[in-house]
């Protein structure tokens, strides 16, 4: 088992499958409907790194014909179990060759690249995803901001990992999800904004817009740092012209 895919085990899959959009996760999805309505034309969608299928179900709820793919067999099994009518597919080593070029109007990747180490791998995957976009297609890349690994949150804790503060681009960092019983730390790879932008450019993509969602005081969630520090970064991308 790769140390960077902690979800490839039964216990973690069970814990993650129970999540929908609690606490801090809510911010990653809250503004997506408006963003997609503004920038995406067409309804063919790929959820890359679908996990237990919450993002795929989210897209279907917005009217997209969504296909969820993941490298974790346990996650795909959980996704199909929760959503028997959904289209969930296992992809070996991130191989997207089963899909024709230009076959999607939208590719959503929610947190997937937090767990993928190395610039070359990231660039190769984004190149492949870009090749799946229709002429007007868009990629929405939702990633963890570096700050998520150095603060406390409604849904996460990093206080036990002060070494995160010294982490540089590409270093492993640890974080605990507090919305599930499984409190084993998740190992992610810290990747700052300038490094993501370099990866996108190398993959033949350009950033259309960037969004950093903040919590609002009128929302019924007990925010910790979310109203002043954005835990997520949402990049909307297209093929470079």
Give me the pLDDT at residue 172, please: 97
CB atoms inside a 10 Å sphere around CB 197: 15
Nearest to 51 by CA among 96, 99, 83, 24: 83
Identify the architecture of domain 10-239 in CATH: 3-Layer(aba) Sandwich (3.40)
Strand 133-144 to 156-157 pairing:
unpaired
Determine the Cα–Cα distance for residues 224 and 216; give it in Å rounded to an integer.
11
Q: 175 forms bridges with which residues in the sheet? A: 186
| pLDDT value for 1 | 31
Instruction: Examine the pLDDT at 210 and tell me if it is beyond 90.
Output: yes
- The per-residue pLDDT for 180 is 82
Beta bridge partners of 232: 144
pLDDT attached to residue 234: 98
Model confidence band, residue 12 (pLDDT cutoffs 50, 70, 90): low
Q: What is the pTM of this model?
A: 0.91
Radius of gyration of the chain (CA): 17
Strands 205-211 and 232-239: antiparallel
- Tens digits of per-residue pLDDT, 95-146? 899 999 999 999 999 999 999 999 999 999 999 999 999 999 999 999 999 9
CA 105 to chain centre: 18
Contact of 156 with 176, CB cutoff 8 Å: yes
Maximal C-alpha separation, the chain: 46
In percent, the amount of the chain with pLDDT more than 70 equals 91
Band of pLDDT at residue 9, cut at 50, 70 and 90: low
Overall average pLDDT of the 211-232 stretch: 97
């Amino acid at each position: 088992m790769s140390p960077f895919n902690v979800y490839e085990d039964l216990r973690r899959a069970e814990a993650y499958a129970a999540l929908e959009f609690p606490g801090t996760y809510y911010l990653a999805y809250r503004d997506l409907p408006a963003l997609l309505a503004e920038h995406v034309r067409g309804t063919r969608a790929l959820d890359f790194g679908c996990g237990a299928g919450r993002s795929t179900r989210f897209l279907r709820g917005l009217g997209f014909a969504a296909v969820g793919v993941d490298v974790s067999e346990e996650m795909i099994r959980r996704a199909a179990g929760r959503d028997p009518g959904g289209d969930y597919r296992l992809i070996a080593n991130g191989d997207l060759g089963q899909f024709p070029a230009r076959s999607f109007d939208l590719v959503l990747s929610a947190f997937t690249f937090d767990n993928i180490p190395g610039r070359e791998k990231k660039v190769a995957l984004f190149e492949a995803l870009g090749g799946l976009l229709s002429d007007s297609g868009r990629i929405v890349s939702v990633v963890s901001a570096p700050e998520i690994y150095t603060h406390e949150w409604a849904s996460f804790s990093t206080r036990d990992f002060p070494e995160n503060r010294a982490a540089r681009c590409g270093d492993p960092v640890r974080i605990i999800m507090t919305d599930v019983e499984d409190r084993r730390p998740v190992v992610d790879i810290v990747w700052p904004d300038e490094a993501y932008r370099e990866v996108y450019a190398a993959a033949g993509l350009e950033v259309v817009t960037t969004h950093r969602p903040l919590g609002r005081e009128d929302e019924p969630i007990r925010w910790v740092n979310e109203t002043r520090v954005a835990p997520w970064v949402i990049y909307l991308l297209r093929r470079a012209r």
